[in-house]
Structure 1
Amino acid sequence: MLQQIRDRTSGLIAGFIVALIAIPFAFFGIESLAPGGGDPVVAEVGDQKIHESQFRRQYDQRYQQLVQLMGENFRADMFDQERMRAAVLRDMTQETMLRQYTEDRGYRADDATLFNVISAESAFQRDGEFDGQAYRDALQRAGFTVERYESQLRDNIEMNQMREAVVDTAFSTPVERTLAAKLQAQERTLQYAVFEVARYRDRVSVTDEQVEARYEQTKARYMAPERLRLAYVELALDKLPDVEPPSEDVLKVLYEGEKAGRFTTPEERSARHILVGFGADKDAAKQKIEDLAKQLADGADFAELAREHSEDPGSSQAGGDLGWVRRGQMVKGFEDALFALDEGQTSAPVETEFGWHLIRLDELKPATVRAFDEEGVQQSLKELFADRERQQRFQEMSERLEQLAFENPGALEPVAQALELQVQTTDWFERGKGSGIAAEPKVVEAAFSREVIEDGENSQPLSLGGNRIVVVRKAEHEPPRQKALDEVAGQVRAELVDEAARKLIEQEAQEVLNAVRGGTDFQEIVSAKNGELRNPGKIRRDNEEVEAAVVAAAFRLPHPQDGTPSTGEAQLDNGGRAVLLLSAVDTPEDARLNEVQQRRLRDLAAGAQFGAYMEEIETRVGVEIRERPDDAETPPIDG
C-alpha cells in the first residue's frame, strides 16, 4: 500500500519529525545502533542492551531539542542535569521494554492504519491533500529514510494500541466520585502566622572568624569554574547570498523533471464497498458475497446492503462509503479492481486479506497537471531552483571548509578569507552555561577537548543542524581556580546569617506552637514573636492566594476536636516557616463533580492503572540498570 509513496517521493521541507513521535516514544531506532565491544552497557532490557554511546546520543538529542524550544531564553543552569539523565534513561528503557512487550503480545498496525496516520499529518500535505513529495522531503531533511520512519511509526502505533487498551477501560465508581466531590468541595477555616527570614537577619551577628572558618571548611564550594572564549567561523545555508534567477529554458527542464510528482494531482475515485470477512468458513463467506452480488444485479440498493451486511466497521454505517481514494491507499487486489471500473459500475467479488469485497465506483476525478505557464508553477520552480542552487553551493563550501580547517590547524583567518566568512568570537562561558553557539552540545564538547584547549588547534567542522557548520578554536582560556576568601566573603557571610535566622525561626515557631497548645491566644503570641498574622478564613484545596505549602499542610491537619483547633507547621519555599491554626472543617453532603473534574478523576484512575501495568510489564520483560549514566562517561552537556 505504501509503495507508491516510496516510489514518488524526493526533495525538501523542514525538520519537524520529532513532533510526530510523542514522548515516551521519542527514542526509536535504539536496536539499530551497533556499538563496539568497548562501549559499556548502561541498561539491559529483556534481550536487548542499551549502551553508553546510545545514551549519549539520546541525551544530546534531548538537550538540543530543549535549546531549540527555549531559544534565547535558554540557560543551561535552569534544569537539574541529574534528573535529565535519569529521565532520558527511563524513556529509553521504557520504549525498548514496550516494543518488546507489544510485539510479543501480537499488537500489529496494518498498512491502512499506518497510511491514515501519515496522510493526516499536515506537514506531509500540500493544499490539504497528502503529497508524496512533501513526505519524502520532510523525512530527508530530518535524516529519516521512508522505511525507517514507517517502521518506527508502526512501533509507536502498536504501543499506543496497548496503552489505549488499558487507559480506555479506566472508570470511577459512584462512591469514589461522591467522596472525591466532598473532598474537593471541603472548606477549612484557617489562621496562620508567617515567620520570614528577612525579619530575623538583623537579630543575627556573624564574626569574621566565623566567615573564615566556614570558608576553610567548605572551600570546594567556592571554585571558579574553567571558562573560555572561542573564535569561530560559521557557514550557514540561510546566510548564503541569493542566486542568479534561472532562464526560462532552465525552468522548463526543471518543470519536466518535477511535473509528475510536484505539479500533478493524481486520479481519484469515490467508491463504496461491502466486506464479508472469511470467518471460520471461507466458502460460506464466498457464497454470501455472491448472493449479495446477485441482489445488486437484481436492482438492490448498494448503500442499504452495505449498512445491513458489510463487516467493515469504518464504512458500513455510511453505506460502505470510502470517500475519495488514490492509487497506493488500498491493498493491491482491491485497488486493481477499483481502478478497472467505470463510473457507476460494480465489481465482481474481490478477494483480499480482509475478506470478500463488492466494490462500486460512484465518481471519478481524472488526473490533472498544472501548466508550466501558471504563475504559481513559475514561482514554485524559481524557489525550487534557488533552493537547490544554495544547497549545492553549501555542499561545495562545506567540503572546502573541512579541507581548509585541516590544512590550517593553527588559525581561522585563512579559512575565513578563502570562503569570505568572518571570524567571530563568543563571550566568556563556563561548561554548560554558554549562549548562542556556546550552548550547542557539540560545540561545548569540542571547545573543552584537549585538541582545542591544550593543543590550540581548530576543531573539526561541527554540524549544528539546520544546515549550519562551524569550526571553533580557543581565543582565551582560564583553568579552574580556587576563589580567594575576599571574593566570596559576602556570600559566605550571607549564608551564615540566613542559616542562623532559620534556626531562630524554627525555635520561635516551636515556641508559638507550644504556647497556643497551652492555651495562649494565637494573635497575642504571634505579635510577641515577630510573626506576621494572616487570616484567610475558609480555604479550599484549589486556593491560589495562600502559599501552596500552607494549603497542603492545612489539609493534612486532623479535624479540630471538642472546639480545640488543630495546629501545625509548614516549611515555606523562601526558607521561612508558617504556624497554622485550623479551627473548623466543613464538608458538604451534596457536592458533585463537574464534567472536567470527573474526567480528571478518571484520568487519575487511568494513570494509576497504566502505571501498575507498566510495573507488571517491567517484571515480565526484565529491566536491569547495569551502570548509571552519570557514573559512566559524562554526556556532552557536562563535557
Structure 2
Amino acid sequence: MLQQIRDRTSGLIAGFIVALIAIPFAFFGIESLAPGGGDPVVAEVGDQKIHESQLQRQYEQRYQQLVQLLGENFRADMFDQRRLRAAVLRDMTQETMLRQYTEDQGFFADDATLFNVISAEAAFQRDGQFDAQAYRDALQRAGFTVDRYENQLRDNIEMNQMREAIVDTAFTAPVELAQAARLQAQERTLQYAVFEPARYRDRVSVTDDQVQAHYQQNKAQYMAPERLKLAYVELVYDKLPPPDPPSADVLKVLYEAEKAGRFTTPEERKARHILIGFGADKDAARQKAEDLAKKIESGADFAALAREHSEDPGSKASGGDLGWVRRGQMVSGFEDALFGLAPGKTSAPVETEFGWHIIRLDEIKPAAVRPFEDAEVQQELTELFTNRERQQRFQEMSEQLEQLAFEHPGALEPVAQALELKVQTTDWFERGKGSGIAADPRVVEAAFSEEVLALGENSKPLNLGGNRIVVIRKAEHEPPRQKSLEEVAEQIRAELVDRAARELIEQESQEVLNAVRGGTDFQEIIRAKNGELRNPGKIRRDNTRVEAAVVDAAFRLPHPQDGKPSVGEAQLGNGGRAVLLLSAVETPDDATLDEVQQRRLRDLIAGAQFGAYMKHIEQKVGVEIRARPDEPTETLEP
C-alpha cells in the first residue's frame, strides 16, 4: 500500500513519530475494535466498542511512556492510577469519535498529502532526502508497521483538517481586542492579610483522650494496606555474555550471504526534475511539460526553470535537485526513465501518479563492493555474528525459562540454577506503589493474581520490553491490617492540630471581614488578630509576586463604590486564608495588546469554539462510558 510514498524521494523537514498525532487527544491508535466476547466493553462510541483489553493495553503504553520520560525520578505513587486510566479512556473515546465524524463529513487526505508529510520527516531521510529503508527502519524501531503508521497518519491528517476548519476561522473583533487590552492593563490597589496555619498551631492543644477518641471513631482511615515482597528471576538480553569470537571461515560465509545487501553500494544517479501536477486539466499539464522540455533542449537553464515552474515543494527551491538516487527509491516510471539516461541528458515528459516529470541526469556513481579484507567490514561482520548469536541464545533461554517455570511452579531456584541466573527480591510494596520491576503494571497485575498470591506459584514469563523477561513469585505477603493506636497517634495528633488551626483561621478571617465591612480600620483589626499584613499596592493580572489565589480573588472583587473599599477573601493552597481590601481600580482607555497577547486571545477564543464543537460532535456521534465491574463509574468518565 502507498508504494509511491515509500519509494519516492523529496521533502522538507517536519516533526517525527510523536508528531504523527497532531491533536493532543489523539495519542493512541485504536486497532482491532472487535475482540472476543469475554472482553467487557468499557465505552461505546457511535458504532464502535472499546473493550477492557484495549483500555488496559493503552494504559500500559501510557504508563511505560511516563516511566521512560521520568527515568530515575519515576515513582509509582506520583500518579493516581484511576485518574490515569480515565485520561487514557478519554483520549481513546475522543479519537474514535473524531475518526468517525471526519469520515462521515468527508474529510480526506490523499496520497500526495500523505507523501508530503512523510517525505518531509528528517528521521526518514538520508543526506537530506527521503530514503525508503530509513523510513522502514525508523518505523520498526518505534514499533509501527508501515501500514499502521500510514493509516494512522492519514486519519490524523483528516482530523486536523476538521480541527483547523474551526480553529483557523476564529477571529477577534476590534471591540474585543480593545476590551481585552483595557482589562489586561487594569491596575488594582490592594492590601491583604494572610492567616497562615503555622501561626495558629501553637495556640492549639490536643489531649491523648481526643487522639484516642478520633482513632476509635475513624479506625477505617488507619488501615495498613496489603503489601507484598516478590522473588524473581530476570533474563536481560544486554546482560548475556558475548559468544566466542568467530573464526575467519565463519566470517567469510557470513560475508558471502550479506555481500549483496550489506556490503554493496548500488549504483547511484544524481538527478534533477521539474514536476508539473495534473491539476484540473491533465492534457494542459502535459503541454506545459513538453514546452519546458523544448526550452531545455534549446539551451534554457534547467535549474532556473525548475525554480520557476516545478510544483515539487521539496526540490523547487534548489533547482529541482533530488540528490543521489538509488534503484528502489522512486516510483517505477520515474525510475525507469532516470536509469535509462546518459549523464547530462534530459528526458521527455514522464507520467507518474504525481504528475508530469522532466528529468535530467547529472552524474553517475557506479556500484561498489567493499572487500572482505576491509577492517570495517571485518568489524561489521563480527558485530553481526555476535548480535545474531546473542539473539539466538536469548530466544533459547526465553523458551527454557518458560518451560522451567512451568515445570517447577513452586520455586525459582531450579530455574535460576539451570539458566545461571540469580534469584532477586523486591522491597515491600503496596499495590500501585512499587519501585523497580514492582512499578511495572504487568508485574503488579501478575503479583496480585490468584496464581501468584493465593496459590503461591510462579508467574508466567512477563515480557517487560527491551528484550527483558521476568518470572515472579510471592516471597512474603501481608494482608490489610488495622494499624494500632501507637502507630498512628502522632499522625492523628498532627491532623487534629491542623484541623483546629484551620478552624481558628476561618473564625478570625470571618471576624476581620465582618469588622471591616462594619467600618473598622483594616490595619487596626489585622493588628488585633493573628494575621500578617501585606501591602503590594497596585497590581495587574500578570503579577507574579502576589499569591496567584490572591490575584485571582482581587480581580473578581467588585469595584469600590462611594469611596468604600471592596473586601473579600481567598483560600490559599497551604490551608491558610487571605482577607483582601481593594481600594481602587484604574482602567486605561488607550491600552493595546502586542502581537503575542493578541495571538493568545485568538487562541483562547478558538479553543473555546473548538471545545463547543467537540460537544456537538459527541452528541452527534454518541458516546457512552461504561464502568468496569471492579471500579466506580466516576473513575472512567471522560
Superposed pair shares fold, TM > 0.5: yes
Q: Could you say which residue in structure 2 is the equivalent of 1:156?
A: 156
Please list, as runs of the form range in 1=range in 2, the aligned pairs for 1:340-355 lying within 5 A after superposition.
Answer: 340-355=340-355
Aligned equivalents of 1:442, 1:482: Cα separation in 2 = 29
Aligned equivalents of 1:234, 1:97: Cα separation in 2 = 41
Q: Could you say which residue in structure 1 is the equivalent of 2:25?
A: 24
Aligned equivalents of 1:403, 1:143: Cα separation in 2 = 28
Q: Residue deviations 1:315-352, cap 9 Å, x none?
A: 66665555555545544333333333333333223333
Q: Could you say which residue in structure 1 is the equivalent of 2:224?
A: 224
Give 3-state SS (helix, strand or coil) of 1:460's partner: coil
Q: Residue deviations 1:220-252, cap 9 Å, x none?
A: 211110001111111111111123232334334
Residue type of the partner of 1:426? T
Q: Could you say which residue in structure 1 is the equivalent of 2:11?
A: none
Q: Could you say which residue in structure 1 is the equivalent of 2:461?
A: 461
Q: Could you say which residue in structure 2 is the equivalent of 1:394?
A: 394
Stretch moving more, 549-558 or 311-320: 311-320
Please list, as runs of the form range in 1=range in 2, the aligned pairs for 1:433-472 lying within 5 A after superposition.
Answer: 433-472=433-472
Aligned equivalents of 1:517, 1:601: Cα separation in 2 = 37
Give 3-state SS (helix, strand or coil) of 1:458's partner: coil
Aligned equivalents of 1:303, 1:340: Cα separation in 2 = 21
Count of aligned residue pairs for this structure pair: 626
Q: Could you say which residue in structure 2 is the equivalent of 1:45?
A: 45
Q: Residue deviations 1:505-537, cap 9 Å, x none?
A: 111111111111222221111111111111122
Tell me if the contact between 1:55 and 1:629 (Cα under 8 Å) persists in the aligned partners. no
Report deviation, 1:308.
5.8
Given the superposition, is the C-alpha separation of residues 20 and 258 from structure 1 closer, same or farther in structure 2, using an over 3 Å criterion?
farther
Q: Could you say which residue in structure 2 is the equivalent of 1:361?
A: 361
Aligned equivalents of 1:380, 1:2: Cα separation in 2 = 33
Aligned equivalents of 1:132, 1:549: Cα separation in 2 = 54
Aligned equivalents of 1:160, 1:251: Cα separation in 2 = 51
Residue type of the partner of 1:25? A
Aligned equivalents of 1:227, 1:513: Cα separation in 2 = 49
Q: Could you say which residue in structure 1 is the equivalent of 2:274?
A: 273
Aligned pair 1:587/2:587, yes or no?
yes
Given the superposition, is the C-alpha separation of residues 290 and 18 from structure 1 closer, same or farther in structure 2, using an over 3 Å criterion?
closer
Given the superposition, is the C-alpha separation of residues 144 and 313 from structure 1 closer, same or farther in structure 2, using an over 3 Å criterion?
closer
Report deviation, 1:544.
2.2
Tell me if the contact between 1:222 and 1:482 (Cα under 8 Å) persists in the aligned partners. yes
Tell me if the contact between 2:273 and 2:357 (Cα under 8 Å) persists in the aligned partners. no
Please list, as runs of the form range in 1=range in 2, the aligned pairs for 1:600-639 lying within 5 A after superposition.
Answer: 600-627=600-627, 631=631
Tell me if the contact between 1:2 and 1:328 (Cα under 8 Å) persists in the aligned partners. no
Please list, as runs of the form range in 1=range in 2, the aligned pairs for 1:517-532 lying within 5 A after superposition.
Answer: 517-532=517-532
Please list, as runs of the form range in 1=range in 2, the aligned pairs for 1:528-547 lying within 5 A after superposition.
Answer: 528-547=528-547
Stretch moving more, 190-199 or 595-604: 595-604
Given the superposition, is the C-alpha separation of residues 128 and 245 from structure 1 closer, same or farther in structure 2, using an over 3 Å criterion?
farther
Q: Could you say which residue in structure 2 is the equivalent of 1:13?
A: none
Aligned equivalents of 2:536, 2:409: Cα separation in 1 = 69
Aligned equivalents of 2:328, 2:555: Cα separation in 1 = 60
Please list, as runs of the form range in 1=range in 2, the aligned pairs for 1:404-443 lying within 5 A after superposition.
Answer: 404-443=404-443
Report deviation, 1:576.
0.7
Aligned equivalents of 2:116, 2:379: Cα separation in 1 = 31
Tell me if the contact between 1:107 and 1:158 (Cα under 8 Å) persists in the aligned partners. yes
Given the superposition, is the C-alpha separation of residues 25 and 244 from structure 1 closer, same or farther in structure 2, using an over 3 Å criterion?
farther
Aligned equivalents of 2:255, 2:634: Cα separation in 1 = 51
Tell me if the contact between 1:193 and 1:579 (Cα under 8 Å) persists in the aligned partners. yes
Q: Could you say which residue in structure 2 is the equivalent of 1:503?
A: 503
Q: Residue deviations 1:268-327, cap 9 Å, x none?
A: 432121415251x54444444444444444445545555665555666666555555554
Give 3-state SS (helix, strand or coil) of 2:466's partner: coil
Report deviation, 1:40.
1.9
Q: Could you say which residue in structure 1 is the equivalent of 2:551?
A: 551
Q: Could you say which residue in structure 2 is the equivalent of 1:68?
A: 68
Given the superposition, is the C-alpha separation of residues 236 and 614 from structure 1 closer, same or farther in structure 2, using an over 3 Å criterion?
same
Report deviation, 1:197.
1.4
Aligned equivalents of 2:407, 2:215: Cα separation in 1 = 49
Aligned equivalents of 2:314, 2:4: Cα separation in 1 = 24
Aligned equivalents of 2:314, 2:124: Cα separation in 1 = 24
Scaled by the length of structure 2, what TM-score is found?
0.88
Aligned equivalents of 2:341, 2:159: Cα separation in 1 = 38
Q: Could you say which residue in structure 2 is the equivalent of 1:576?
A: 576
Report deviation, 1:482.
1.7
Give 3-state SS (helix, strand or coil) of 1:246's partner: coil
Aligned equivalents of 2:619, 2:582: Cα separation in 1 = 45
Residue type of the partner of 1:42? V
Residue type of the partner of 1:189? T
Aligned equivalents of 1:566, 1:256: Cα separation in 2 = 88
Scaled by the length of structure 1, what TM-score is found?
0.88
Report deviation, 1:425.
0.6
Residue type of the partner of 2:27? A
Aligned equivalents of 2:357, 2:142: Cα separation in 1 = 39
Q: Could you say which residue in structure 2 is the equivalent of 1:336?
A: 336
Q: Residue deviations 1:568-619, cap 9 Å, x none?
A: 1000111110001112223334433334333333332332333233333323
Residue type of the partner of 1:184? Q
Stretch moving more, 222-231 or 510-519: 510-519
Residue type of the partner of 1:88? V
Tell me if the contact between 1:416 and 1:423 (Cα under 8 Å) persists in the aligned partners. yes
Tell me if the contact between 1:230 and 1:473 (Cα under 8 Å) persists in the aligned partners. yes
Q: Could you say which residue in structure 1 is the equivalent of 2:101?
A: 101
Report deviation, 1:430.
0.5
Tell me if the contact between 2:4 and 2:330 (Cα under 8 Å) persists in the aligned partners. no
Aligned equivalents of 1:558, 1:217: Cα separation in 2 = 44
Report deviation, 1:89.
0.8
Give 3-state SS (helix, strand or coil) of 1:584's partner: strand
Q: List alignment gaps of at least 5 residues for structure 1.
A: 8-15
Residue type of the partner of 1:444? V
Given the superposition, is the C-alpha separation of residues 119 and 391 from structure 1 closer, same or farther in structure 2, using an over 3 Å criterion?
farther
Tell me if the contact between 2:246 and 2:385 (Cα under 8 Å) persists in the aligned partners. yes
Task: Name the Cα RMSD after superposition.
Answer: 3.2
Tell me if the contact between 1:271 and 1:324 (Cα under 8 Å) persists in the aligned partners. no
Stretch moving more, 552-561 or 364-373: 364-373
Tell me if the contact between 1:456 and 1:474 (Cα under 8 Å) persists in the aligned partners. yes
Aligned equivalents of 1:596, 1:607: Cα separation in 2 = 16
Report deviation, 1:33.
4.7
Q: Residue deviations 1:384-419, cap 9 Å, x none?
A: 322222111111111111111111111111111111
Given the superposition, is the C-alpha separation of residues 316 and 170 from structure 1 closer, same or farther in structure 2, using an over 3 Å criterion?
farther
Tell me if the contact between 1:112 and 1:330 (Cα under 8 Å) persists in the aligned partners. no
Please list, as runs of the form range in 1=range in 2, the aligned pairs for 1:129-148 lying within 5 A after superposition.
Answer: 132-148=132-148
Q: List alignment gaps of at least 5 residues for structure 2.
A: 8-15
Q: Could you say which residue in structure 2 is the equivalent of 1:197?
A: 197
Aligned equivalents of 1:156, 1:326: Cα separation in 2 = 31
